[in-house]
Amino acid sequence: MYLRGMIRPRVYVETTIPSAYFEMRTAATVVARREWTRQWWGIAAARYELFTSPAVIAELIAGRSERATERVALVHPLPLLVIDSPVLEIVQAYIRHKLMPADPGGDALHLALASYYKCDFLVTWNCQHLANANKFGHIRRINTLLGLYVPSLVTPLELLGAADEQPGSDDRL
């Protein structure tokens, strides 16, 4: 069993994950993301403590109507992180520091939730504003300035190999 006897890492599941899980387009990159998302989702609950938020639910409901019910149902069992005043203040700080786009209900809110609640990972397919190595240094600086935890911003693909990468699991000799 993965991390037997240890605390499982906390993961904030952002909107693009359930969206990718039920994506129906057939472009090669879209199909690959869907398959990686489904593979990760199949092992995620055993490896991680998963969370989402009311913001994710609202985005899923407001998004494309086809399969919206299924997208919401996928994350429905996950505990919801509360959006309260300190989280909203963090969102405003992110916008003030031009860390995230000025939409207070979007990427800044997801990052604020994952940071405030000390999630080890924020899992997303948003590689423009969140899982973007070129932005991570700025995110780390602002979170440090604000006294916040800095979650790793990753895609499902990056978390797929986690069980195979435990010390002593290298099969090469």
Residue-wise pLDDT tens digits, 21-70: 999 999 999 999 999 999 999 999 999 999 999 999 999 999 888 889 99
46 occurs within a structural domain: yes
The backbone region for 3, taken as left when phi is positive above 0, alpha when psi lies in -120 to 50, beta otherwise, is left
Q: Higher confidence at residue 102 or residue 143?
A: 143
66 occurs within a structural domain: yes
3 occurs within a structural domain: no
173 occurs within a structural domain: no
Number of domains the chain is built from: 1
Q: Higher confidence at residue 77 or residue 65?
A: 77
Share above pLDDT 90 across residues of the chain, in percent, rounded to a whole number: 75
Tell me: pLDDT of 149 over 60.
yes
168 occurs within a structural domain: no
166 occurs within a structural domain: no
pLDDT at 69: 94
169 occurs within a structural domain: no
124 occurs within a structural domain: yes
User: Quick one: pLDDT band at residue 93, thresholds 50, 70, 90?
Assistant: very high
Q: Across all residues in the chain, what is the average pLDDT?
A: 89
Tell me: pLDDT of 83 over 90.
yes
pLDDT at 101: 76
Domain encompassing residue 77: 10-161
pLDDT at 103: 74
* CATH number assigned to the domain comprising residue 156: 3.40.50.1010
> Which of 117, 125, 132 minimizes the C-alpha distance to 12?
117
Tell me: pLDDT of 3 over 60.
no
pLDDT at 131: 84
Q: What is the pTM of this model?
A: 0.88
pLDDT at 5: 56
